[in-house]
Chains A and B, each alone.
Chain A
Amino acid sequence: MSPDEFAQHYRVHLPALSKFVARRADTSAVEDICSDIFLIAWQKRDQAPEGFELAWLYSIGGHVINNLRRKNQTGFKLIAALSVPNFAPSAESLALADVSLGSAWRQLKAGEQQVLSLTALDGLSVAEASRVLGISANAVSVRLNRARAHLTKLLEISDSPVITK
């Protein structure tokens, strides 16, 4: 695959990928991170799973973000804005638009946040999410149902009016 063919094939995923990154890092770092993702994707282009390219890019993106986060935590000031300790949007970023949702989101387990964000926000199917997370589709389905139920319950509490005496 030539560079032009690669770019032609993957450019359709750039908008989704950049949003994927923006949900997990500061928007000012999106271009840097996307560049790193495509750099790795180019180097590993022979390993791209046909039909699951976006999920593959997300998977690379997850590693890139986590690596940068680790560097940031160990003194590298590469991207200071990376502060979320897991592979999902932060509660704070969601709370900017929905305080109750942010509050409920914070109480989810990391795995629940991951599977919910990949399917509800990042637009992946269960099969694609299984590629990103490295678990079976069945496991994703089970985890997704539990996460939805958990979030729904947390939202019922979070949304209920505060009762004061």
Chain B
Amino acid sequence: MNENQNIDDLSERLLAADPAANLEAPHESLIHRAIAAAETTADQKPASKLLGFLKPRNRVVLVRGLSTAGVMAVALAFAAPSILGAFPSGSGSSYLFSLAGSTGGGQKMAASSDTIGAASSIAGGISAGVCQGFDGNPCGIMPTEYNYVAAPGLSDASGSAAVYKLQPVRSASETLTLLAAQFGISGTTKTGSASENWNLIYKGLNPDGSEGWGKPQLAVSYDNGSMVPQWSYTGNPMLYTDCAHSDAAAKGLDVPIVDPNKQDPNTNTCLAGISGRGPTTAEALVSAKKIFKAIGFDSSTNLDSVHNGDLYIEMPTDPNAGRDGVSITGYLMVGGSLTSMSQTISWDGSSKDISYGYGFDGQAVSQGNFGTLSASAAVERLGNWQWYGNPYLDYANLKYSETMNQGVAIDVIAPAVQDTTAGSSTGTSGSATVAPDTNSTAPSGVAPSDVAPTPQVVNVTVTRAQSTLMTLYAEDGTIWFVPGFVFYDATGYVGNVLSIVPGVIKLPEVTPLTDVQVK
């Protein structure tokens, strides 16, 4: 055997013993994630910078149709992202993204909300239910702890699903130009006041070049993190001239004065202005679809014909509703799921001019498949707001869980409120299953009001799970669509959670909530 033959044999033998011979390479999205992590770690943003991500209007309406939990999550995204620390060295780069959020903002939101979902979004699933005394009047706040249980029929099959990231298809200036043509806005473009990490450009300024409410305006903002243009349009705000005093002009007033006699005393809307002058719903639909199309979105009211990247439009059931004001909203379809990412065009009914609109200009791009929990395993996450997301929900037809929505125990499995009087009722009238805690008495010398009530525990049995994609805002301003479940019990909607396995996205950190904070 010569030396070369010996060398070849040696190489072949080494290759035959290669411990990585059968290794499947990671998905190439790993490279994008690493780049994103590098950019994030290099540019940790203080809260003040991200607070300016969108105009106030967009913050509220951009992700229309959020569950309360979703609202909280969006609020978290803008609350105080700087509280999140930098990625841990060496391991943080493996996160797909870092979810914006903070416990501080979340607690405030949850404690102040009075609707379903938000209560259970407090860490640990503790809620504040409403109780009644013997006289039927509210007797204060009674904490409720929801115990989420998966019904036996819920799927226990784990799997994998794609995660998507919203990415720009054009620059903000191009978006501005395209939409300006649709809204009939001309004039110069002006850069608005903006923070270091987000930018704003306007078109349709006042005659003196100022920003403001003098004439229709189109604004496009974009965060340096996502670079996805977010647009908003404001029509002529001087639509209430019919309500103005006839002598307003004579008095040399620039701003119309509303005539109380021409105004609905209940709604403060201008009666004269709303006189069926708006477009019909059909006309509004045609106009809205044309605008959506201008920035690349096909749209349809027929869900069967909505493809990925298209918008699904929920239509008002009344075909003539548009004449008294109508909004046409399109929801983005991603990976076969409708998302809460939406665009809206609205008319107030006083004319056929668009009163306002908002939306985005980007497309969802898959970042690869990631492991997902089964529905039954994900139920547990309902007790942890960290896992909440923003799904598309058909609010017009959504029926909320009676178990959670009533705020009182329906299926109580543990003693409820501690009372200073042994044997007293817990006061949850209408709920015969509530058991008094006869052993609970206030410690000697402690006033009754100082005794922290023991949360009542309510079982919520999840019987149905709907797979979907949740809209999430990352700490760096990027927007993602992540797999999740919308859960229902036998009586209706319970909540929603992400189903992605732990370790893919970095969650907001949790600080345990004290009883005082719950109050």
In the complex, what residues of B have CB within 8 A of residue A120's CB? 10-11, 14-15
In the complex, what residues of B have CB within 8 A of residue A3's CB? 32, 35-36
Q: How far is the CB of B44 from chain A (nearest CB, A)?
A: 15
The CA of A6 and the CA of B19, in the complex, are separated in Å by 29
Q: How far is the CB of B21 from chain A (nearest CB, A)?
A: 8
In the complex, what residues of B have CB within 8 A of residue A101's CB? 13-14, 17
Cβ-defined contact, A98 with B13, below 8 A: yes
The CA of A152 and the CA of B38, in the complex, are separated in Å by 44
- A-B contacts counted at CB < 8 A amount to 119
Contact of A30 among B10, B26, B41 (CB under 8 A): B26
Q: How far is the CB of B115 from chain A (nearest CB, A)?
A: 40
Size category of the A interface is 35 or more
Q: Contacts A42-B34, A97-B17, A120-B15 given: A35-B93 contact, CB under 8 Å?
A: yes
Q: Is the interface of B mostly helix, strand, loop or mixed?
A: helix
Q: Contacts A3-B35, A14-B30 given: A71-B90 contact, CB under 8 Å?
A: yes
Cβ-defined contact, B13 with A6, below 8 A: no
Cβ-defined contact, B20 with A19, below 8 A: yes
Cβ contacts B76-107/A at 8 Å (1 or 0 each): 00000000000000110110000000000000
Q: How far is the CB of B169 from chain A (nearest CB, A)?
A: 13
Task: Select from chain B the residue with minimum beta-carbon distance to A144.
Answer: B7
The CA of A41 and the CA of B90, in the complex, are separated in Å by 14
The CA of A11 and the CA of B93, in the complex, are separated in Å by 17
The CA of A153 and the CA of B81, in the complex, are separated in Å by 61
Cβ contacts B29-48/A at 8 Å (1 or 0 each): 01111111110011000000
Task: Select from chain B the residue with minimum beta-carbon distance to A27.
Answer: B23
Task: Select from chain B the residue with minimum beta-carbon distance to A38.
Answer: B34
In the complex, what residues of A have CB within 8 A of residue B6's CB? 148, 152
Q: How far is the CB of B413 from chain A (nearest CB, A)?
A: 39
Residue A131, interface by CB 8 Å: no
Residue A18, interface by CB 8 Å: yes
**Given A30-B26, A39-B35, A148-B10, 7 more contacts at CB 8 Å?**
A7-B35, A19-B18, A27-B20, A31-B26, A101-B14, A117-B14, A121-B14
Q: Which B residues lie at the A interface, using CB under 8 A? A: 6-7, 10-11, 13-21, 23, 25-26, 28, 30-38, 41-42, 90-91, 93-94
Q: Which A residues lie at the B interface, using CB under 8 A? A: 3, 6-7, 10-11, 14-15, 18-20, 22-23, 27, 30-32, 34-43, 67-68, 71, 76, 78, 89, 93-98, 101-102, 116-117, 120-121, 148, 151-152, 155
22 A-B pairs within 8 Å (CB atoms) are namely A3-B36, A11-B28, A11-B31, A14-B31, A18-B23, A20-B20, A32-B93, A32-B94, A35-B94, A36-B90, A36-B93, A36-B94, A39-B41, A42-B35, A94-B14, A94-B17, A98-B17, A116-B14, A120-B15, A121-B14, A121-B20, A155-B13
